[in-house]
């Protein structure tokens, strides 16, 4: 009797066949096929099929392409079709006897052809990428698009401005091109102060299928005359301010070679690397991280004058780019990872601002597996950053204690003179001690460690950290410092031992190359990064807009005052380093080499001040400093070495240490700063349009003496100056006109300064009220709410509603006042704690502004 059979016994299992297209290469094949790819197809495992096809003569190979063999409609694509398309594009089909599958081309060429067959269209070059926007990129484009259309709908002549506050690796170039595509832009101008970012703009445009047929051009690439490009063909022109917006000395006229750019009506103008409010700084401030010699090489002297002129014009006329940029456009897009000044100045608010910060990125990375189970993680390769600060031992510390706060001065410690082989450090023996220290060989520290029974986690000695130091970036104060450190590392006591394993790359000074020219030598010496060790020395070059995946640590060896510069440099080491197709048998496989990266700083107070400022910058509307810093520390841990232990520190400790250098002098300066008030034309026009504001401001002490029409006079003079300057662009001014221009400029500046001084004097009275309440103020609004209205009016001359009205119109800068309030609060807390006082008991703690209170009450 036959036994019953299961369905599995009766019917064979359906093969899980999925047709695949593949291409592989090998250096072990015959000479005629080297440099070629073998293009084939299979319905089985790709690697199984490749090994089978080699027969007995097995060779090692790398699987370059592994793609589905179907188009969007489900129609099969054959390997024959792929090879035929490659041959039609001019690639050689290397035929030998019966073998017809080898083509002399790259994997990008094969992927481009597969994309063409899949989408039934022809692509220029290697536009093979087909990835779509990530969620945050799509959100940025949609929000910007909605804002542009709303502005254009309200006024067809409007030129809207939008800012993407997006950190490195957001994909700003790709997303910007998608925005340009959505608005139907045919002419897009990309401007930057940092030409080194050009590489990404060109690569993204020429590799993605969405931008097939678009033309990329710059002074070195593309058509010599961009105006010759067909009007219906999208054109992206990339240039630097230095190249395109400088004027001729003497005449002030546009340089003849740049006239074409002013004759085009651009659909979109993109300002890249807009870190510091861009042209609103002079050249020296823009390039804070760079040595003076670097500045001279990067920015022509004539352009420095142009920047200063732009600065002055903006101070006088407000924030309208069209007042000083002689180009026309439908819209402006600004891109930066650290636009803190622009945010603090209120240039961009929620409506025309999109934020994607380091914290956002790391949150998305942490949440990806739960929100997108099974899907490839686009954030996986983005390393987490850690900040490690070190207090220098006493025998090193004493040589460079400088400044008002008696802080360790990195610029002084690494000071040097000379260039090249003649460069020498001012404190050479102490810097040698520091080199010993960071590799755990500083004798006094080692003895202390033995006594304590601990091993200090110095960068080049800790076994957990040391592997990330194979390729590091040392950020130094000057070109001379970089040359001198290079010389010291090459001396026998260093080159013959530990430091001899490292290839020192000096990227400082004009001799290292200007802009992007400095990058190829770095990449050439790092190579793949696995069999090399390098130290890249720089005093500013390569700290913006460049990607070197192998850099895994940065040593901050100079004073930096701006968090913009500090974190732009720090984020160089956060570039992903991952290996595609690590085993050679899966082109989609990725192995992450750098899961974490490090910032090392040897001036702890200054470093934590930068971190606190950066945290505030990430959350400009957050009035609670502790929360802003805590949010950042959740994804950017900070460890501090105090001379005996390396311990993680929390938000409160960061702020306490950051403010530990605050002095009464600094507090006074903050409340006497011109940043607290705005007297540009836009603000004055808003005042003129509000009768209540004009009435209120007359109550500020001394303001009536300026006259009833002071604002109108300033604006009228500004307009007259503007017209005279406009005339100067078209023809030479007569002697009388020049004299008139000079006189008007002097008068206008004098009047504006008088207004500014009256407002600053008023602002200095606000801190007086912070000692009159038990309430712990976090922001200006807290100060106002906690006050007695009658006392405020008695001391200042304004009612609280009047002050709030002037603040709302922008006459007083809330962002900078909030910062001053926070600094005051931290200083007061530290002072009271030191004195053993925990509250405002009796309201009579004599402090910085007590004398101000007494004087004001006595006066009134």
Which pLDDT score is estimated for 432?
93
Whole-number Å distance between alpha carbons of 99 and 95: 6
H/E stretch holding 726: helix 710-730
177, 410, 423 from 576: Cα distances, Å = 22, 29, 35
Judgement on whether residues 428 and 396 belong to the same structural domain of the protein: yes
CATH code, domain with 147: 3.40.50.300
CATH code, domain with 435: 3.40.50
Judgement on whether residues 336 and 445 belong to the same structural domain of the protein: no
Mean pLDDT of 697-725: 84
Q: Is residue 81 part of a domain?
A: yes
Which pLDDT score is estimated for 512?
85
Q: Which range has the worst mean pLDDT, 258-272, 298-312, 571-585, 731-745? A: 298-312
> Are 724 and 737 a contacting pair, CB within 8 Å?
yes
Which pLDDT score is estimated for 643?
64
Which pLDDT score is estimated for 270?
92
Q: Is residue 846 part of a domain?
A: yes
Judgement on whether residues 177 and 102 belong to the same structural domain of the protein: no
Judgement on whether residues 348 and 364 belong to the same structural domain of the protein: no
What residues contact residue 52 under an 8 Å CB cut-off, 6+ apart? none
Domain limit, last residue, from 661, 694, 720: 661
Judgement on whether residues 415 and 564 belong to the same structural domain of the protein: yes
Q: Which two tokens stand for residue 266?
A: 């651009």
Judgement on whether residues 828 and 689 belong to the same structural domain of the protein: yes
DSSP state of 464: T
Q: Which residue did the predictor score with more confidence, 443 or 274?
A: 274
Mean pLDDT of 250-272: 79
**Structural domain total, the chain:** 4
Q: Cβ of 542: how many Cβ atoms within 10 Å?
A: 26
Helices (H), ranges, 28-125: 46-53, 79-88, 107-119
User: What's the sign of the alpha-carbon dihedral 793, 798, 800, 801?
Assistant: positive
373 class by beta-carbon count within 10 Å (0-12 exposed, 13-18 middle, 19+ buried): exposed
pLDDT above 70 covers a percentage of the chain that reads 72
Which pLDDT score is estimated for 280?
46
Judgement on whether residues 701 and 829 belong to the same structural domain of the protein: yes
Which pLDDT score is estimated for 390?
87
Which of 329, 309, 282, 313 is CA-nearest to residue 162? 329
Q: What is the pLDDT of residues 723-780, one digit of tens each?
A: 887 777 677 778 888 888 888 888 888 888 888 888 888 777 766 665 445 444 455 5
User: Could you give the maximum distance between any two Cα atoms of the chain, in Å?
Assistant: 123
Q: Is residue 125 part of a domain?
A: no
Q: What is the pLDDT of residues 655-700, one digit of tens each?
A: 766 665 444 444 455 566 666 788 888 888 888 888 898 888 888 8
Q: Does residue 373 carry a pLDDT above 60?
A: yes
> Are 179 and 141 a contacting pair, CB within 8 Å?
yes
Judgement on whether residues 322 and 394 belong to the same structural domain of the protein: no
What residues contact residue 26 under an 8 Å CB cut-off, 6+ apart? 33, 59, 60, 61, 62
Q: Cβ of 199: how many Cβ atoms within 10 Å?
A: 15
Whole-number Å distance between alpha carbons of 40 and 236: 37
Domain limit, last residue, from 661, 682, 697: 661
Judgement on whether residues 350 and 364 belong to the same structural domain of the protein: no
Q: Does residue 321 carry a pLDDT above 60?
A: no
Q: Is residue 716 part of a domain?
A: no
Which pLDDT score is estimated for 729?
67
Judgement on whether residues 141 and 109 belong to the same structural domain of the protein: no
User: What's the sign of the alpha-carbon dihedral 620, 625, 627, 628?
Assistant: positive
Q: What is the pLDDT of residues 170-215, one digit of tens each?
A: 889 999 999 999 999 999 999 886 665 666 788 888 888 888 889 9
Whole-number Å distance between alpha carbons of 426 and 414: 7
Which pLDDT score is estimated for 207?
82
Q: Does residue 492 carry a pLDDT above 90?
A: yes
Which pLDDT score is estimated for 606?
84
Q: Is residue 112 part of a domain?
A: yes
For residue 262, the enclosing domain spans 135-356
Q: Is residue 514 part of a domain?
A: yes
Q: Which range has the worst mean pLDDT, 141-155, 497-511, 520-534, 621-635? A: 621-635
Please tell me the pTM assigned to this model: 0.67
Judgement on whether residues 288 and 414 belong to the same structural domain of the protein: no
> Which string of DSSP letters, residue by residue, matches 324-388?
T---EES-EEEEES--HHHHHTTSS-GGGEEEE-HHHHHHHHHHHHHHSTTS--TTTTSPEEEEE
Strands 534-538 and 590-592, how do they pair?
unpaired
Q: Is residue 445 part of a domain?
A: yes
195, 296, 614 from 220: Cα distances, Å = 12, 22, 36
H/E stretch holding 719: helix 710-730
Q: Which residue did the predictor score with more confidence, 153 or 348?
A: 153
Per residue, what are the HEC states of 411-427? HHHCCEECCHHHCEECC
Per the prediction, the chain carries an average pLDDT of 77
Whole-number Å distance between alpha carbons of 460 and 89: 52
pLDDT confidence band for 826 (50 / 70 / 90): low
pLDDT confidence band for 17 (50 / 70 / 90): low
Which of 206, 176, 152, 346 is CA-nearest to residue 269? 176
Assign residue 773 a region: left if phi > 0, alpha if psi is -120 to 50, beta otherwise?
Answer: beta
pLDDT confidence band for 261 (50 / 70 / 90): confident
Mean pLDDT of 457-465: 86
Domain limit, last residue, from 294, 324, 356: 356
Per residue, what are the HEC states of 224-289? CCHHHCCCCCCEEEEEEHHHHCCECCCCCCECHHHHHHHCCEECEEEEECCCCCHHHCCHHHHCCC
DSSP state of 208: B
Q: Is residue 449 part of a domain?
A: yes
Q: Which residue did the predictor score with more confidence, 286 or 521?
A: 521
Judgement on whether residues 516 and 552 belong to the same structural domain of the protein: yes
Q: Does residue 836 carry a pLDDT above 50?
A: no
């Amino acid at each position: 009797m036959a036994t019953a059979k299961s369905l599995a016994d009766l019917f064979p299992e359906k093969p899980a066949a999925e047709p695949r297209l593949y291409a592989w290469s090998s250096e072990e094949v015959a000479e005629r096929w080297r440099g070629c790819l073998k293009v084939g197809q299979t319905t089985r495992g790709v690697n199984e099929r490749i090994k089978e096809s080699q027969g007995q003569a097995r060779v090692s190979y790398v699987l370059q392409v592994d793609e589905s063999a179907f188009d969007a409609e489900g129609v099969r694509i054959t390997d024959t079709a792929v090879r035929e398309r490659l041959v039609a594009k001019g690639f050689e089909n290397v035929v030998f006897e019966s073998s017809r599958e080898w083509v002399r081309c790259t994997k990008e060429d094969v992927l481009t052809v597969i994309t063409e067959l899949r989408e039934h269209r022809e692509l220029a070059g290697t536009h093979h990428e087909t990835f779509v926007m990530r969620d945050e990129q799509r959100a940025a484009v949609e929000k910007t698009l909605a804002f542009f259309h709303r502005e254009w709908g309200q006024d067809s002549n409007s030129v809207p401005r939008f800012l993407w506050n997006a950190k490195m690796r957001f994909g700003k170039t790709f997303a910007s091109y998608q925005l340009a595509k959505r608005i139907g832009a045919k002419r897009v101008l990309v401007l930057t102060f940092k030409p080194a970012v050009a590489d990404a703009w060109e690569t993204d445009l020429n590799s993605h299928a969405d931008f097939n047929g678009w033309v990329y051009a710059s002074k070195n690439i593309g058509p010599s005359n961009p105006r010759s490009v067909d009007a219906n063909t999208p054109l992206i022109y990339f240039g630097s301010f230095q190249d395109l917006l400088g004027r001729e000395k003497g005449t002030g006229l546009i340089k003849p070679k740049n006239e074409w750019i002013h004759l085009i009506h651009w659909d979109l103008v993109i300002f890249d690397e807009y870190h510091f409010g861009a042209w609103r700084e002079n050249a020296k401030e823009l390039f804070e991280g760079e040595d003076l010699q670097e500045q001279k090489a990067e920015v022509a002297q004539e352009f420095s004058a142009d920047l200063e002129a732009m600065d002055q014009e903006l101070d006088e006329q407000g924030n309208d780019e069209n007042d000083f940029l002689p180009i026309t456009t439908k819209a402006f897009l600004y891109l930066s990872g650290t636009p803190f000044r622009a945010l603090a100045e209120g240039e961009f608010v929620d409506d025309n601002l999109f934020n994607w910060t380091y914290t956002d990125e790391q949150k998305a990375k942490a949440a990806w597996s739960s929100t997108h189970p099974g899907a490839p993680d686009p954030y996986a390769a983005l390393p987490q950053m850690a900040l490690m600060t070190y207090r220098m031992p006493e025998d090193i510390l004493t040589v460079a204690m400088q400044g008002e706060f008696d802080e360790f001065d990195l610029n002084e410690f690494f000071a040097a003179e000379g260039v090249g082989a003649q460069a020498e450090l001012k404190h050479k023996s102490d810097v040698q001690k520091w080199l010993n220290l960071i590799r755990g060989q500083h004798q006094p520290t080692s003895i202390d460690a033995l006594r304590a029974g601990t091993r200090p986690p110095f960068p080049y000695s800790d076994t957990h950290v040391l592997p990330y130091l194979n390729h590091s970036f040392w950020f130094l104060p000057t070109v001379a410092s970089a040359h001198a450190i290079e010389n010291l590392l090459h001396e026998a006591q260093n080159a013959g031992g530990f430091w001899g394993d490292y290839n020192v790359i000096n990227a400082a000074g004009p001799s290292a190359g200007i802009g992007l020219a400095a990058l190829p030598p770095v990449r050439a010496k790092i190579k793949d990064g696995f069999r090399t060790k390098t130290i890249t020395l720089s005093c500013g070059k390569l700290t913006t807009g460049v990607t070197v995946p192998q850099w895994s640590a940065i040593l901050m060896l100079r004073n930096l005052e701006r968090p913009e510069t500090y974190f732009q440099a720090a984020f160089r080491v956060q570039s992903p380093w991952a290996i595609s197709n690590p085993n050679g048998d899966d082109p989609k496989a990725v192995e992450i080499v750098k899961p974490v990266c490090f910032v090392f700083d040897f001036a702890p107070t200054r470093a934590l001040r930068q971190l606190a400022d950066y945290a505030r910058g990430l959350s400009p509307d957050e009035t609670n400093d502790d929360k802003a810093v805590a949010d950042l520390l959740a994804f950017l841990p900070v460890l501090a070495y105090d001379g005996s232990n390396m311990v993680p520190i929390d938000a409160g400790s960061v702020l306490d240490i950051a403010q530990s250098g605050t002095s009464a002098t600094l507090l006074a300066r903050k409340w006497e700063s011109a940043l607290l008030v705005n007297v540009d034309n836009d603000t004055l026009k808003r005042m003129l349009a509000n009768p209540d504001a004009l009435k209120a401001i007359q109550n500020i002490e001394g303001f009536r003496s300026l006259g009833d029409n002071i604002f109108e006079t300033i604006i009228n003079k500004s307009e007259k100056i503007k017209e005279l300057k406009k005339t100067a662009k078209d023809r030479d001014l007569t002697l009388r006109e020049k004299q008139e221009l000079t006189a008007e400029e002097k008068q206008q500046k004098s009047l504006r300064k008088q207004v500014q001084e009256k407002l600053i004097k008023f602002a200095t009275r606000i801190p007086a009220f912070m000692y009159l309440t038990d309430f712990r103020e976090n922001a200006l609004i807290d100060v106002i709410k906690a006050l007695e209205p009658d006392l405020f009016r008695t001391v200042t001359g304004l009612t609280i509603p009047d002050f709030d009205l002037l603040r709302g119109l922008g006459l007083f800068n809330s962002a900078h006042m909030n910062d001053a309030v926070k600094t005051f609060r931290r200083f007061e807390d530290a002072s009271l704690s030191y004195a053993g006082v925990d509250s405002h008991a009796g309201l009579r703690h004599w402090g910085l502004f007590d004398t101000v209170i007494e004087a004001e009450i006595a006066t009134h």
